[in-house]
Each structure stands twice: as C-alpha cells, then as structure tokens.
Structure 1
Amino acid sequence: MVKTPFPTPRSLASLFNRSGLRPHPDNHHHLASAANLISALAADLLSLPDSTPDPTPILESHSFPSLLRSSRKPFVSIKLFSLLKPRPLLALEVFKWRREIAMGPDGIPLASEEYAKAITIAGRAHNVDLAGKLFSEAIVSFPETALYNALMSAYMYNGMMRRCLAVFQSLRQDRRCKPTIVSYNILLSLFGRSVLVDHMEAVIQAANEAGVMRTLKTQNTILASYVTAFMWDRMEATYRAMQHGPVKPELRTHLLMLRGYAHSGNIEKMEETYKVVLNQVKQVNPVFIRAMICAYCKSKHPKRVERIEELLEYITDAEYRRWLHVLLIRFYAREGMVEVMKRLIGEAFSRKTTVTTSGTMRSIVTSYFHCGDVDQLAGFLRSAERAGWKLCRSLFHCKMLMFGMHNRLEEMHDVLDEMESLRFDRTKKTFSIMHKVYCNMGRRLEANTVVGLMLKLGLVSPTDGRDLLLHREQA
C-alpha cells in the first residue's frame, strides 16, 4: 500500500463499496437544487483565509454529507471541486475530509471520478508527489483510463514531460484500459506548449493509427500549437480542414485564428475574424484585443490610429499592461502625435511604468526633435532619468544638437557634463555634432579646436581631419 498523507481507513475496500449508497431519483429538479446548494457551500469555503483553513465546520453546517448520500453519482463533490479550482490547496483539504468520511461500513464510498479530480487538483497545487500517491492508491480498485489521464494532466501542468510520457506508456501497457482521445489531447498540449511541433505531429499520427476520433479540443490544441510556433501555413491548413471536416470551428477556434492573424500581421483576415467573433459574443476577451492593438501598432494600415483608439475603449484599468502602454508611447511617437505621446508619458510616470528599450526612447526623442521643442525634451530626459527609464548616448546627442540649433551653446556644453556624470563616453558622433554647430554659427576657432581634439583622441584619421578643416574653409 502506497503511503499517503491522509489517514488509512480501517478497510480500504469500504472506500469503493457502493452497496451502502441510498439511491435517489436523479432528475433535473434534484440536480438543479443540489447545484444551488453546492454553489452556496463553495462561496462560504472560498471566504476562508488562505492559510491552510479547516473546511470541516462549513462542510457540516451545509449538510454536505447528506448531499453526498442523496446523490447516486458523485455529482455534488465533483461540482464542489470544480468551484474550488481557484484555491487548489483548499480543495485538497476538502478532499482530505471527503476521504475521512468514506471510512468504515457506514461511510460514503469514494468514486473514481473523485480520485481523478483530486489528482488533477494536486497537480494544480504543484504537489505532484501527492498526485502520484493518490493515483497508486486508486488504480488498484479503479483500473480506469480517467485516472491515467488525470495523472498525465498533473505532470503536464507542471511541465514534467518525461513523467507524463511514462504514465502514457504505462496506460498503453495496461490491458485493463486503453488511451482515449483525452490522453492524446494531453500529449498534444504538452508538446504544443513546449513548441515541439514534430513531437506533436507524431502524436497526431499515433492517434490516427489508434483509430480515436478527434474532438474540438483536439483540433483547437493543434491550432494553438501552430499559433505558438508561428507556423501560419499549417495554422491556415488546420483551420480549413476544420471548416470542411466533421469537427467544425467554434468560438475558441475563431479566437485562436484571431490571435494568429494578429501575430502574423495579417490585418485583413484579422478584421474579418474579429467580425465573426463579434457575431458570437458581445465583447471579446481583452487578451485578444491587446493582440489586435499590437498588430495595428506594427502595421501600415491607413486607419491604424482610428482602429487602435476604438479598441482601447475595451481596455479597462483592470486590464492595464505596462508593455502595452510602452508600445503605445512608441506608436504615437512614430506617428508624430506629440500631444498624445506626452499624455501617455505622463500616465506612465504616474503609474511607475518604465521604458527599458533604447528604440522606444529614440522614438520619443525623435518626436520632440521634429517639433523643435528643446525645453520639453530636456524636461522629459530629467523626468526619465529620475524614473529609471532607459537612457542612451543618442538621446543626449539629440539634446546637444537641438541646443546648438537654437544657439544655446552654454546649455549644449552642460549636456557634455551630464553625459560624463552618467558615464557616457564622448564619441566621434559627439564631437561631430559640436563641429557642425560651430560651423553653422561661423565660429571657426571652436570648430578647428574640436577637430584637433578628435585627432588627439584618435577618433578621426589625419586625412579625415584635414577634410573637415577644408570643408570649413570652403564653407
């Protein structure tokens, strides 16, 4: 007997003996009434604190044992475990209590479905050792594929590929049961998440050879794997096969295609699919809205600004994502929409959202440069430095050039000090900007001095230095 953290019953056989169950007419009214009672029980259980709560008082106050006895099938316990999915540790405590009341001759026997659910929950709680122990305990009396599938699911959820495959091999070798399409679906998800497309396609071939019929879950899993792997041709082929095959696309399928078209930049098909989805649901999940916004930000669509603003109406504060905020800053900067860019920058500062890429910072500075407002640029760089945003040498070069273009030489020189304080070395570009500014102002001595410094530091060759001086004389 495998040792588990739960107390051992006096008679293990009593856990699986159904003779003590009191049959009850399992009609629609009874199920609906039980579902309402379970929902109320789950709400009270979920209100318990996170720190290893004892569910016993609440379970007994809701007469849960009576509910179990009145149900011919383990409907009530499975329903309760499903409602407790957000709190897997709490669900395991409930299963522990459920197992205790299964002991003895007057106990309420456990069903294989309850064990399968508990194994899955243990996986969600990242307690794979417990999942394995529960499986070893249950498979003795319940040689069912569902238990194998539950253990495979637990290992898949925790990324344990080898263990998951080992369980599948054990299932294939067990003469009492055989793999179902659920078993193959778990393997498809396992390889799809790991972007092991070749392995996933080998599983598809094995399922075909085994003669198991594909389900909607199978097709959607294959489709999601191709989307994750950015394999657009195979994604399209799978979708077309669904359109002409026995398993037709539904909402989940269209959402996967929507994401695929967004990631691939296929704006036309993305918009067509979006219309299809809107005919099925009133509001699309923000996950897919964000993907569409990203697609428009990277596209040359003539109405990309209008489309983005329409989609942003569906993004609430609860769905705020820092990366999307930064992407929008860069988008509006590139579009030359300075006022919108500045508003987004202000919101980013207030939300403590940071920019960590030089490309975005360069887009912002370029936008300030094009509107010619050096003071706003200087203020932005000071705020960005305080907020911990990514700074790079090219930002200060732009600031130097703008001060020079406005003949504010003293402030241009101050930028050099700023660069030194931030440990940005002066490069050939730095001195070239200064040389250009002095040349444009007709300050020949300063321009020649800069050329001399470049020669001294080895930033230009003597020939290039003479060319710079000659260019100045000709000018």
Structure 2
Amino acid sequence: MVKTPFSRPRSLASLFTNHGHSHSHHDNHHLASTANIISALAADLLSLPDPTPDPTPILESHSFPSLLRSSHKPFAASIKLFSLLKPRPLLALEVFKWRREIAIGPNAIPLASEEYAKAITIAGRARNLDLAGKLFWEAIVSFPETALYNALMSAYMYNGMMRRCLAVFQSLRQDRRCKPTIVSYNILLSLFGRSVLVDHMEAVLQAANEAGVMRTLKTQNTIIASYITAFMWDRMEATYHAMQQGPVKPELRTHLLLLRGYAHAGNIEKMEYTYKIVSKQVKRVNAVFIRAMICTYCKSKHPKRVQRIEELLEYIADAEYRPWLHVLLIRVYAQEGLVEVMKRLIDEAFSRKTTVTTSETMRSIITSYFHCGDVDQLAGFLRSAERAGWKLCRSVFHCKMLMYGMRNRLKEMHDVLDEMKRFRFDPTKKTLSIIYKVYCNMGRRLEANTVVGLMFKFGVVSPTDARVFPSHREQP
C-alpha cells in the first residue's frame, strides 16, 4: 500500500492559517502570499473564453510549477486552485490534466490522493462520469482511501445515478482497506432525500447508527432538507427538536432550512418566529429564503400580508428578480384592490417580458379593473396583455362585455364576441346571458328575445331553463 507522503490536514483552511507556535511570522506571510498568487491565477484562468482553452501558458506565467515545488504540501495549492475554478468545471479538468503531466518525469511532483478526490468530484460536476470512474481506478491502486470512494459516490449522486452510487458504496463496504465514514452516509442521505425516498433515507440512518458512525451537522441538515422536500413537516420538526436536545446543535443553516420548511408549509406563525432567530445570526438573509416567505404571504389570508411583503421586498435586490414572484405580487395587489400598485407592477412586467400564464391571476386582475369601473383601462390592458403573450381566458372577455353593457356601449359589447371568436372562444350560456340581461335592463325586449333565440341555436339552454332568462318567461 502506497501512502501519500504528506499528512492530510483537517481542512483546507488550515493550510493557509497559523497552526501553532511553530509557525513564524515569515511562514504566515509566505502562506498569505501563496493564497494571493493562487487567487490571481484563478482570476486569470476564469477570464479565458469558451470553449475551454489550454491553461498551460497562464499556469506557467504565474510560476505555478515553481510554487508547487517550493511548497511542502503541493496538493494544498492545487486543491485551492480547483476550488476557485468551481464555476468552470471543464476548465478545472484541463488544469488537472496539466497537473497530471507534471507528475511524470525526473522533476515530477507526485499527485496526492486529495487531488485525485477533488478531480473526481469536478468530473462529476462536468458530467463526465467516464473520466470520474477512470480517475478513481487510477488512484485507488496507490491510495486505497475512503475519500476516493466518497468522491466517486458524490459524482454519481450529483448526476442522479442512484444505482452506480449504491454500487460504489457496496464496494466500499467490501474493501477491507477502508470503511464508510459519515461522509459516505451523508451522500446516500442526499441521494435518497432528493429523490423523496424517505424510507430508504431512514434505512441509511439506521445503518449508520448500527455502524457506530456519529452524525454531523451536515447529516442532520440533510435529514431536515429531505423531510422538507417530502412535505413531512412533523418529522422535520422532530429532527430539529432532537438536535436541540442532542450533541449536534442547530446552527444557521439548520434555521434557514427550518425557515424554508415553515414557509412551504404555510405556517406563518412559526415562519416568523424562525425568521427572528435567523435575523439574529446573520445581517442579511439570503434572497432565496426571503422569496419563500413572500410567496407564503402571497398565498395566505394574513391581515397584514401586504405590509409584511413590502418589508421583505426591501431585502431583494433588482438582480435577484424572479418573474414568478412578480406575477404573485400582481395577483396580491389585485386581490387587495390596490389598483395603482397593480398597474405599476403590470407595466413593469410588460417591460421585463414577464408573462402571466394562469387564468386565476388574470381573473384577479380583471376583477380589480371591474371594481374600478374603468372599461377603457381594462380594454387597454387586454391589448397589451395580448401583445405580450399573456394567458387570455373567457372570463376576461365576459368582464369586458359586461362593463360595456353596463355603460350602454352596445356596439363595443357585441365587438367582444368577435374578439372571442378570434381567440377561439365559443359563446357559452354565461356569454349570452350577459348580453340578454343587458338588454332586459335597458327594456329592449326585442333584442333580448333575439339573444334567447341564439341560446337555443347554440344549444346552451333548453326551453324549460327558466333560470337563465326569467324576465322572458314572465312575458304574456
């Protein structure tokens, strides 16, 4: 068994910080300088255009080979660089290809197991699973370590390859040279949790307990996240309460998950309480959780929902705009009868190319216009909505028709029928009933009788259906 010539640190951060009294001020300065060099190198690499070019010139211009040779832990610099290149996994793989090349020859800088593990994970992010498997088998010969198994499991988990992930875990259990760690079990928990296979996830927990593996904060948070995905609010809370009583205490990430869970559950009271806890732990809550809270208020009947929504909107930057949230806000202000704000949001949606695709939201908008009594504004909105590709439903035309009829604008009322035909909406009982009642209210019985004839023609009523046109049947 060949081991890496360097002992592995507890964390990458420890490589660039002071470990104890043995480190001099000069050592600390050197580590800080190294970190700056790697950051500058990563910035230059990330500036390279797609498709992924050869990174060799930039690596050599920054004297990265010399940096690796001068370091007593060369793999630390490589891993730091790989981490900074996370947004571009294909580029990171090109850098690893270069790293493998300088690991061969008389002046070779040998690869460490940590570098292989990182490269396997990156290959998974790049969705190159063949490469991930190749690197694993290449490394496991010299470094029979659990971290390599975990990296390959993570690559398969990231790509939703459940069977392959489970096969690697089974191989790990059968490998006498190493054994599963809590990281191995955490990967399986994430795998089953994302797939909403709660029974499988709980079986993994039982197996971890039987193996005597201690849970970590990551374990507990993964469990809570899985219960949220499965809408199992009681088990989510039970896990949280168990953390409060156990050795692994809830931290910020735990409370943020809980916040999202209560938001999805529509439990406003507990959501607000959890938000207060989170606000004490962090200056600014991530927009993802703020949007979840706003969404909950939008769907609730909370008496102060508009006030709460406006307070939360202050924490969302323009760059964090989401069309679906904008549509929800339009609906809320329409339901609350706040027409001016609704109009402003609608105009902004048009300018942002945001579309409304649900009939329910459109009905809320036209109801708001109806209560305003301004049919011309409604007509203008519908023209703009049509051009923007918004969802048009029969109720929209019925509202417009009724408002024209209430103002005795009969020609425009009839023109709505032509609009409906253009959008392939056939007249229904309600369509003709609106026209019938408009004529009855105006005392125009001849036209009302004509509409009744149309009702029979289209087959939307029968002669015995007195509920549709009671005034007609009262005639002698």
Same fold (TM over 0.5): yes
Tell me how far 1:467 sits from its aligned partner: 7.3
Corresponding residue number in structure 2 for 1:58: 58
The Cα of 1:31 is off from its aligned counterpart by: 2.9
Counterpart of 1:45 in structure 2 is 45
Q: Residue in 1 aligned with 2:35?
A: 35
- SS of 1:464's equivalent in the other structure is coil
For 1:94 and 1:235, how far apart are their aligned partners in 2? 42
Q: CA deviation at 1:466?
A: 9.1
Q: Which residue of 2 aligns with 1:247?
A: 248
| CA spacing shift, 1:358–1:17, aligned 2, 3 Å | closer
2:311 corresponding residue in structure 1: 310
In structure 1, the residue matched to 2:395 is: 394
Aligned to 1:200: 201
1:264 Cα offset (Å): 0.8
| Distance change >3 Å, CA 410–CA 470, structure 1 → 2 | closer
Unpaired segments ≥5 residues, structure 1: 1-12, 20-24
Q: What secondary structure, in the 3-state scheme, does the structure 1 residue paired with 2:180 have?
A: coil
Q: 2:67 is matched by which residue type in structure 1?
A: L
Residue 462 of structure 1 aligns to a residue whose secondary structure is coil
Q: Structure 2: how far apart are the matches of 1:374 and 1:205?
A: 65
Per-residue CA deviations over 1:84-143 (Å, capped at 9, x if unaligned) read 111111111110111000102320010000000000000011101100000010001110
Kindly state the Cα deviation for residue 305 of structure 1 after the two structures are TM-superposed: 0.8
CA shift for structure 1 position 446: 1.0
Q: Is the 8 A contact 1:444 1:472 kept in 2?
A: no
Residues 1:260 and 2:264 aligned together: no
Distance in 1 between residues matched to 2:209 and 2:72, nearest whole Å: 36
Per-residue deviation, 1:370 = 1.0
8 Å Cα contact 1:38-1:80 kept in structure 2: yes
**Residues of 2 paired with 1:439 and 1:470: CA distance?**
7
Instruction: Give me the whole-angstrom Cα distance separating, in 2, the residues matched to 1:363 and 1:17.
Output: 66
Q: Does 1:359 align with 2:343?
A: no
Identify the residue that residue 463 of structure 1 maps to in structure 2.
Answer: 464
| C-alpha contact (below 8 Å) 1:434/1:450 kept by paired residues | yes
Point out which structure has higher relative CO (alpha carbons under 8 A, 6+ apart). Answer: 1
| Partner SS, residue 302 of structure 2 | coil
Q: How big is the shift at 1:67? A: 1.7
On the 8 A contact 2:4/2:143 being kept in 1, the answer is no
Quote the residue 1:8 is aligned against.
none
Q: Deviations over 1:147-202 (max 9, x none)?
A: 00000000111111111111000101111100000000000111111111111111
| Contact 2:4–2:113 (Cα < 8 Å) also in 1 | no
Q: Residue 410 of structure 2 aligns with which residue?
A: 409
User: Aligned letter for 2:54?
Assistant: D
**How far, CA to CA, are the matches of 2:468 and 2:459 in structure 1?**
15
1:368 alignment partner in structure 2: 369
Change (3 A) 1:425 1:58: same
Q: How does 1:33-432 map to 2 (within 5 A)?
A: 33-73=33-73, 74-432=75-433
Conserved? CA contact 1:404–1:437, under 8 Å: yes
TM-score, scaled to structure 2: 0.93
Greater displacement, 357-366 / 30-39 = 30-39
Paired with 2:337 and 2:91, the residues of 1 have a C-alpha distance of 53
Counterpart of 2:47 in structure 1: which amino acid? S
Given that 1:55 and 1:93 are in contact with CA atoms closer than 8 Å, whether structure 2 keeps it comes out as: yes
Shift of 1:33: 2.7
Aligned partners of 1:113 and 1:150: how far apart in 2?
10
Query: d(CA) in 2 for partners of 1:44 and 1:467?
Result: 75
Q: Shift of the alpha carbon at 1:70?
A: 2.4
Shift of 1:472: 5.7
Q: Which amino acid aligns with 2:128?
A: N
CA change 1:466–1:369 in 2 (3 A) is closer
Instruction: Using the TM superposition, give the Cα deviation of residue 18 of structure 1 relative to its aligned residue in structure 2, in angstroms.
Output: 4.4
SS of 1:184's equivalent?
Answer: helix
How do 1:431-442 residues align onto structure 2 when only pairs under 5 Å count? Answer: 431-442=432-443
What letter corresponds to residue 96 of structure 1 in structure 2? Answer: K
RMSD of equivalent CA atoms: 1.8
Distance 2:255 2:444 in 1: 66
Greater shift after overlay, 60-69 or 393-402?
Answer: 60-69
Aligned to 1:5: none
Contact 1:184 1:203 in 2 (8 A): yes
Describe the superposition over 1:212-236 as per-residue Cα deviations: whole angstroms up to 9, x where unpaired. Answer: 0000000000011111111110110
CA contact (8 A) 2:4 2:112 kept: no
Alpha-carbon distance in structure 1 between the residues aligned to 2:71 and 2:271: 48
Separation of aligned partners in 1, 2:388 and 2:61 = 54
Cα deviation 1:302-341 (Å, max 9, x = unaligned):
2211111111111112101110011100111111111110
Following superposition, the deviation at residue 439 of structure 1 comes to: 0.9
2:433/2:468 contact within 8 Å kept: no
2:446 matched to 1:445?
yes
Task: Say if 1:88 and 1:125, in contact at 8 Å, map to a contact too.
Answer: yes
**Residues 448 and 45 of structure 1: CA distance in aligned 2, closer, same or farther (over 3 Å):** same
Please report how far the alpha carbon of residue 412 of structure 1 lies from its aligned counterpart in structure 2 after TM superposition.
0.3
Query: Does the CA contact (< 8 Å) of 1:451 and 1:465 recur in 2?
Result: no
Instruction: State the TM-score, normalized to the length of structure 1.
Output: 0.93
User: For each residue in 1:54-85, what CA deviation from the matched residue of structure 2 results, as whole angstroms up to 9, or x when unmatched?
Assistant: 11111112221222122222211111111111
Amino acid paired to 1:46: L
Counterpart CA distance in 2 for 1:156 and 1:467 is 61
Equivalent position SS for 1:86: coil
Deviation larger for 283-292 or 464-473? 464-473
Deviating more after overlay: 461-470 vs 159-168:
461-470
Q: Report if the CA contact (8 A) 1:88-1:121 is conserved.
A: yes
**CA–CA distance in structure 1, aligned partners of residues 29 and 420 of structure 2:** 76
Q: Which amino acid aligns with 2:188?
A: L
- Percent identity, please: 86
Pick which of 126-135 and 417-426 moved more.
417-426
Q: Tell me by how many angstroms 1:17 deviates.
A: 7.6
Kept in 1, the 8 Å contact 2:433–2:469? The answer is no
Deviation string 1:348-378 (CA, Å, 9 cap, x unpaired) is: 1111111011111011001101111111111
